[in-house]
Structure formats: C-alpha cells, structure tokens
C-alpha cells in the first residue's frame, strides 16, 4: 500500500508558478502554502498515511473552485478534493505535487422544499446539519454515518456513505436525487434531477462512490423523509458472537426490517461502556442493538416479535430502552465505539468489508484466529444487518513492524470477505488503503472498464491520482490474485 509513488514534489519553479497563478485567482486567505498551515491537511481519518500537499485551496464559492480547477488543468497539476477529512481509507490523502481542494467553506443550505421533501445543499454542509435544518418541518436525512457530526455531504456522496439506518433506508446513493459537479477542467454540469428515472446513462449512480476521481461535487439535492412517529431500540446480550450472528440472520429471515441492527463484541462493549457509560452489559461476549421505527402500534408489535426471536436464539438478557433518554444512551455507546476503542491502544486500523449475512459467525471466528496469528487484538463493532464488518485492529506504530503487520492482517480480512462472496468495501471506499485488494476483487477486464471510465472523465489523470483503482501493472506485480483466476485466498473455505 505504501509503495504508490505520489511523494515527489515538483521543481521549485513549477511550484512558484502554480502558487503565483492561484494567488491571483483566489482571494486573500483562501490559499495555504506555509508548511505549518499545510500540516493539518496531511492525512484524513487514516492517519497512518501522511503526505504534505503543495498548497491547500479553500474556495468559498463555486466560481472560486472553478478557477482552481482551470488553473490546475492548464498547468497539469493534480487535484485532491477534500471534504471534512474523516475518511478512513486515505481517499483525501494529498498528492505531493498537487493542490488539495478543501470544500469546507462551501457550507450553505441553499433550499429546503418540504412539499417535495428535498433539500439543495453545498458539499461542505455537515451530514447532521441537514437533519437539524429540516427538523422544524418534521423531516430528516436518513443516512447517518457515525461520523455525522463532522463529515460532509460531499464526502458522503464521494464515498457512498452508510450508517446505522441504511439497513432500512439505503445508502447515500438511495437518498440523493441530483448533483452539480465541476469537471476536471472546471466546467459546470448537472446530473440527476427530480424524476425517479431519467434519460441517458445513470451518471448520478456512477458519481456516487467515485472517491473524487471523476469530478468535484459542488451541490447535492438530497431526499428527506418524515420523522417516524416512534423509534425504539432493543438491546440483547449473548454468550457468544456466533449466537449473536445467528440472531441477526433470524431477525432478517423472519421478514422484519429493523431501522438498524448493530453488533459489538466484548472488547468493543467494554471500551464503549468505559467511554460513554451507555449501560451495556460488560460481561456479554456480544450485544445486538436492534432499532425498530414506524407508527406506534407497528413498533409495539415488532418489539414483541424481536424480543421473542432474540430469546429463541439464546440471548441471555433482552432490554427494551425504557425511554428516549435510554435509547439515546444505547446509541451513544455505539456511535462512540471507534474513538472508545482508540483508547485501548496507541493506534487502530479500521477495516471495512461486507459479507453475506449467513457467513457472519464463520467469518468472525476466522478473524479471531487471524488475530492470534498476527499477535494483534481486534475489536468488532459493525452494521450486522447489512453484513458490513468493521474489525478494528489495535497496534502501536512506534513498535517496529507493527504497522506492517496490522496492514497485512487487514488485507487478509478483506480477502476473507471476497472469498465468502462479499466485497472489500461496505461504506468507507477504497482510497489508498484497499487498492491492492481491488486486484483480488476484480478481473483484469473489469478493472480495464474502470480505467476507461476514468479516462472519459479525466483523460490526463489529474483528479485524485493513484487512488481507488489499481493499475493493471500493479495487479500483475501482485500476482494476479483475482478470486476467479484460480489463485484463491483461503482455499479451505466453502466457496460462495
């Protein structure tokens, strides 16, 4: 992973020419070039990887962002777009010879339409700020990443972000209607619209999850939903992770679609309890949090069914939150789980992969075995209903070799996901982190299609180069590991 060469700064004369031109097109204070000012932008949420950009541009209008793109395009300078920098796959990691285009100042809510249940927002608006702004209309924006207090809607679109409520309400791609974007040479374009089905290629879907590789998103039209009459959460404790995994399959198999269905193992439970005092049973091997929402009677009926199913699957304790305060506490523990686990070791590495729900227990057992092999502890806290795993590998970057071991361990987990018929991303994107595992997930012909799409949008490869899609050469060097190519990871596992 760390071998991609994006580290070479350009000659001093080119740097000076770029800075002079950008200073001309941006107002004072909108261009950072001093080392000290650049430091906060060296990494995103994946702090193991750091690189200093040539400059950071902070446009406050679409016209200023256009001017940055036009300048970089004319000079052949790479551009890495950045939202709030909470990404966990290194997607916003700067390019040493490039400009980091930070969109945090484009943070206005442009229009709220309560009748059509939509809002038009700039890309730097925080995810949670949308729901807060539309709350007086009884509406909210459903996708709720645990980072929602900080992450931007532009970053959510670029990563196709998910969250607790995506099991019932879908990912970002299911909750947006249109985008305004800037092409690599600064042209403004619109994709999507108000209709559910539009003519032409579905560029809205293509742009969602494109990780800043195809265009810069400068406006998002989001769908809003009416707040449910009632939401209630049930917490169940289990003596084994396997039993909790089986209960997940049992609930979904019974035809119930919870608003959220989250699993935490013992290490995550203890860390979250210590951090947030959520009222979790710290001796449980695993807990499930199952949220049900809808009209009052429907929720009451579903709670009874879920409690019964949880008992039948061996839950040692089942508690329904007594009131809104307790419900908020149960969720506060889950939402704080990443920073809470972060207190257990100097560093942690958050993996993100998706597997078929039926393989949950088996995959978790494998991860435990890998944890022993690599001598690194792992905490599991994840969107169990979606089969979206988040193993958090604990390590100490100051101990020689530990980061490399953590990376290898993470890579094995992703290959495990592919081997059971899953994918190497659930919601955090590929970025720098998972670029090698793309060679495991996709065949050469499939990757060639990705390159053709990239070329159509960005022929000179100036937008976020070196991320998300590996070169065919890189995959060949890694030994053509694609699972359909015969060289299967985990050959002893039953295939999907």
Ligand X SMILES: Cc1cc2nc3c(=O)[nH]c(=O)nc-3n(C[C@H](O)[C@H](O)[C@H](O)COP(=O)(O)OP(=O)(O)OC[C@H]3O[C@@H](n4cnc5c(N)ncnc54)[C@H](O)[C@@H]3O)c2cc1C
- The secondary structure element, H or E, covering residue 79 is strand 79-82
The rounded distance, in Å, linking the Cα atoms of 103 and 371 is: 39
Q: What phi and psi values does residue 395 have, to the nearest 5 degrees? A: -155, 175
Closest to ligand X by CB, 217 vs 315, is 217
Closest to ligand X by CB, 172 vs 441, is 172
Closest to ligand X by CB, 131 vs 302, is 131
Residue of 214, 163, 205, 207 whose CA lies nearest to 185? 214
Contacts of residue 226, defined as CB under 8 A and 6 or more positions apart, other chains included, come to: 117, 138, 139
Residue of 80, 184, 175, 174 whose CA lies nearest to 468? 80
Closest to ligand X by CB, 242 vs 471, is 471
Distance in Å, CB of 400 to ligand X, minimum: 27
- Do the bridges between strand 79-82 and strand 99-102 make them parallel or antiparallel, or are there none, so unpaired? parallel
Closest to ligand X by CB, 338 vs 374, is 338
Which ranges of 170-295 would DSSP assign to H, the alpha helix? 203-207, 241-253, 266-276
Q: Which single residue brings its beta carbon nearest to ligand X?
A: 155
- Contact residues toward ligand X (CB under 6 A) are 44-45, 80-88, 91-92, 103, 123, 145-147, 151-152, 154-156, 158-159, 161-163, 211-212, 216-217, 338, 427-428, 464
Distance in Å, CB of 192 to ligand X, minimum: 15
Closest to ligand X by CB, 366 vs 434, is 434
Token pair listed for 190:
């619109």
Distance in Å, CB of 143 to ligand X, minimum: 8
How much of the chain is in helix, strand and coil states, percent to nearest 5? Answer: 40, 20, 40
Distance in Å, CB of 308 to ligand X, minimum: 29
Distance in Å, CB of 86 to ligand X, minimum: 3
Distance in Å, CB of 486 to ligand X, minimum: 33
Contacts of residue 206, defined as CB under 8 A and 6 or more positions apart, other chains included, come to: 214, 453
Closest to ligand X by CB, 123 vs 387, is 123
Distance in Å, CB of 127 to ligand X, minimum: 8
């Amino acid at each position: 992973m760390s071998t991609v060469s994006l580290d070479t700064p350009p000659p001093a004369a080119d740097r000076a020419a770029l800075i002079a031109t950008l200073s001309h097109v941006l107002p004072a204070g909108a261009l950072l070039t001093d080392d000290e000012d650049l430091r906060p932008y060296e990494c995103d949420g994946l702090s193991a990887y750091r690189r200093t950009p040539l400059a950071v541009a902070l446009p406050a209008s679409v016209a200023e962002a256009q001017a940055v793109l036009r300048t970089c395009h004319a000079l052949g300078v790479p551009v890495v777009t950045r939202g709030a920098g909470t990404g966990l796959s290194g997607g916003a990691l700067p390019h040493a010879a490039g400009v980091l285009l930070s969109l945090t100042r484009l943070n206005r809510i442009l229009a709220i339409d309560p009748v059509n249940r939509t809002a038009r927002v700039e890309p730097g608006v925080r995810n949670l700020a949308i729901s807060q702004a539309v709350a007086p209309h009884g509406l909210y924006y459903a996708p709720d990443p645990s980072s929602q207090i900080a992450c931007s809607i532009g970053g959510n679109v670029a990563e196709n972000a998910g969250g607790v409520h995506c099991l019932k309400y879908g990912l970002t791609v299911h909750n947006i209607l249109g985008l305004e974007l800037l092409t690599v040479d600064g042209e403004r374009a619109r994709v999507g619209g108000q209709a559910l089905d539009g003519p032409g290629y579905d560029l809205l879907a293509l742009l969602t999850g494109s990780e800043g590789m195809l265009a810069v998103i400068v406006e998002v039209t989001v769908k809003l939903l009416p707040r449910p009459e009632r939401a209630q959460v049930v917490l169940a404790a289990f003596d084994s992770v396997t039993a909790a995994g089986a209960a997940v399959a049992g609930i979904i198999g019974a035809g119930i679609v919870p608003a959220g269905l989250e699993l935490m193992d013992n290490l995550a439970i203890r860390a979250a309890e210590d951090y947030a005092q959520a009222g979790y049973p710290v001796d449980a091997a695993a807990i499930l949090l199952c949220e049900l929402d809808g009209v009052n009677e429907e929720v009451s009926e579903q709670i009874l069914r879920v409690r019964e199913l949880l008992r039948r699957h061996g839950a040692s304790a089942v508690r329904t939150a007594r009131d809104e305060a307790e419900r908020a506490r149960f969720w506060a523990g889950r939402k704080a789980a990443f920073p809470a686990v972060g207190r257990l070791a100097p560093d942690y590495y958050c993996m993100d992969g998706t597997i078929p729900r039926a393989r949950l227990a088996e995959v978790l057992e494998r991860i435990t075995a890998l944890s022993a092999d690599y001598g690194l502890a792992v905490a599991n806290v994840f969107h169990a209903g979606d089969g979206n795993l988040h193993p958090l590998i604990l390590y100490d970057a100051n101990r020689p070799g530990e980061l490399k071991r953590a990376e290898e361990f993470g890579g094995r987990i992703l290959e495990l996901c592919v081997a059971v018929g899953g994918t190497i991303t659930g919601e955090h994107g590929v970025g720098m982190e998972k670029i090698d595992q793309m060679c495991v997930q996709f065949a050469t012909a499939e990757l060639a299609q990705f390159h053709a799409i990239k070329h159509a949008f960005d022929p000179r490869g100036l937008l976020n180069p070196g991320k998300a899609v590996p070169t065919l050469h890189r995959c060949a060097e890694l030994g053509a590991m694609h699972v359909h190519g015969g060289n299967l990871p985990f050959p002893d596992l039953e295939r999907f």
